[in-house]
Structure 1
């Protein structure tokens, strides 16, 4: 998720041996990169060097450098099958809005026909790790980025967590995906959560929807930046915070501190809303993982194992004695 999808660019990349990627290891992606760079106005005849950026599991990521300038560029070439669940136009708009708000790198070029995106490479920044997220200062910076993004203006796509779950269930049926035996119990509780949240009214804002550590770029001399808007949509505000708590494995004291930082107070109804969304997040990403195993067998990642684990964790949240109380508080 990007991510599982993108771990973020490294800060030190060795100079490549050739002026352009020779495509020996991956001719399709190297050719796609070459075409993408040559399609940018003013870049048609410029000599460039390209180095693969490792860590992305679904896209092919590259660092591009021209002989005649110091600025380097990060190029994302979408992987096969990702169009099944990513609206590239929406992701581009989200990235543009975030860049204007000062929380994301500047976008240099976007190619709608292929989904290729080229952004400025932020020198001195590096992708965060799970270790970074143990720091309270980092946690505060992450919640601050999300609060800013929630105010950038509506995105082209509105897709709530419930829409995402429905979409994945349709893919499960279409692709004949095998789910864990207890998934029916999770879906029953997810339907109960949906009824409770919709009855209370959804707080719809632009959401990032994918706070993996690699999607946050940290720098010792500047503010943290947010990247990778492939899963962004207008969604329930609490869902973004819930993902932070889930993906960074925060314990109860840290989770309560994040809720208070995010909302200004940790009232019971707010805590309940976030806790319910934590379970829904694991249902969504659990289904996503199981589906992705069927979409492309060339990805070097055990998505089914990932999805099964997410679903198991959702079951643990729903088995918490407070689960009925959280639902009732909504």
Structure 2
């Protein structure tokens, strides 16, 4: 049996235990295209849609890839997805089995679209995304407590151990972000649960303007401004737009807090570049997409770190 056939059989056997899904004619097929570059979508686990013939009722199943163990705490990610479900800011979770790597959710298909940079030009959508993140942050701490600076160190060591192809200035980039980590370590920061991934494709938007956050694989307990920073760097290519979104989020403008958020965005680029490099070296999926994704994140990180404003941002955080 092919790998996809094995996955379908696993998914079919699992959902057979769910109320109403153990009998009848059920069709299981890929839900969305898997894409690493330029976006990171469907990479962490195979996305499946199970549809009941006749009624058309469907559910969405995420079957984590074996690569997930390289960079995801699956139990924490599933716990975060459950919390988001309970809060109404994520798809409703119907079942979750971290050991099997299976997450079953409502299928937000009809009437919902994946977020795009164009939609981030709409203040009401941005405000809804920020409000959803803030609501999640009000909960109890998640079991995972690695912030972006911790992950940079972790994935840098993993990349070197895997003999991953890194840019010639990777060590310099890591050292520059260590300066930032040292500066942040002197601040009084209260960690909260965060989504941790600002990719706009991790936002679903309904035809009526509702939003749901998906893919909680980077969820952790960290600085709330880390959550905002990862979103700003992904959603706004230009600083004026990022400043405007920050001001609406904070109810005013705070230069120190904005600088913190922007530095977190730079660190997010480096982290994802390292994750992409690790997967390019170690994944059984023989594709250049991981390397392409890593290269873009390294480029964007480098562009900011080389500018004088990076040092200015560091000086403004205290």
Q: Same fold (TM over 0.5)?
A: yes
CA contact (8 A) 1:127 1:214 kept: yes
How far the C-alpha of 1:255 sits from its partner, in A, is: 0.6
TM-score w.r.t. length of structure 1: 0.86
Q: Unmatched 5+ residue regions in structure 1?
A: 1-22
In structure 1, C-alpha distance between the alignment counterparts of 2:279 and 2:91, rounded to whole Å: 28
Post-superposition offset of 1:69: 5.2
Flag the 1:24–1:290 CA change in 2: closer, same or farther, 3 A.
Answer: closer
Look up the match of 1:18.
none
* Per-residue deviation, 1:116: 0.4
| Equivalent in the alignment of 2:279 | 292
Find the counterpart in structure 1 of residue 31 from structure 2: 53
Question: Are the counterparts in 1 of residues 72 and 217 from structure 2 also a CA contact under 8 Å?
Answer: yes
Tell me which moved more, 44-53 or 99-108.
Answer: 44-53
For 1:157 and 1:71, locate their aligned partners in 2 and report how far apart those are by CA, in whole Å. Answer: 35
Alignment of 1:138-149 (within 5 A): 138-149=125-136
* Alpha-carbon contact 1:101-1:152 (below 8 Å) kept: no
2:31 is equivalent to residue 31 of structure 1: no
> Given that residues 57 and 301 in structure 1 are in contact (C-alpha distance below 8 angstroms), is that contact kept between their aligned partners in structure 2?
no
Moved over 4 A (4+): 67-70
Instruction: State the Cα RMSD in Å.
Output: 2.1
Q: Map Cα deviations across residues 190-244 of structure 1 (whole Å, 9 max, x no partner).
A: 1100000010133311111112222111112352111111111111211111111
Alignment of 1:36-115 (within 5 A): 36-40=14-18, 43-55=21-33, 56-67=42-53, 71-115=57-101
Partners of 1:150 and 1:262 lie apart in 2 by 14
Deviates more, 1:263-272 or 1:180-189: 263-272
Q: CA deviation at 1:186?
A: 0.8
Number of equivalent positions = 308
2:113 counterpart of 1:121: no
Deviation string for 1:61-107 (max 9, x for gaps)? Answer: 11112247554210111112112211121111111111111111211
Partner Cα distance (2:143, 2:53) in 1: 38
Q: Is the 8 A contact 2:137 2:192 kept in 1?
A: yes
2:115·2:201 contact (CA, 8 Å) conserved in 1?
yes
Q: 1:246 to 1:301 in 2, by over 3 A?
A: farther
Q: Name structure 2 gaps, 5 residues minimum.
A: 34-41
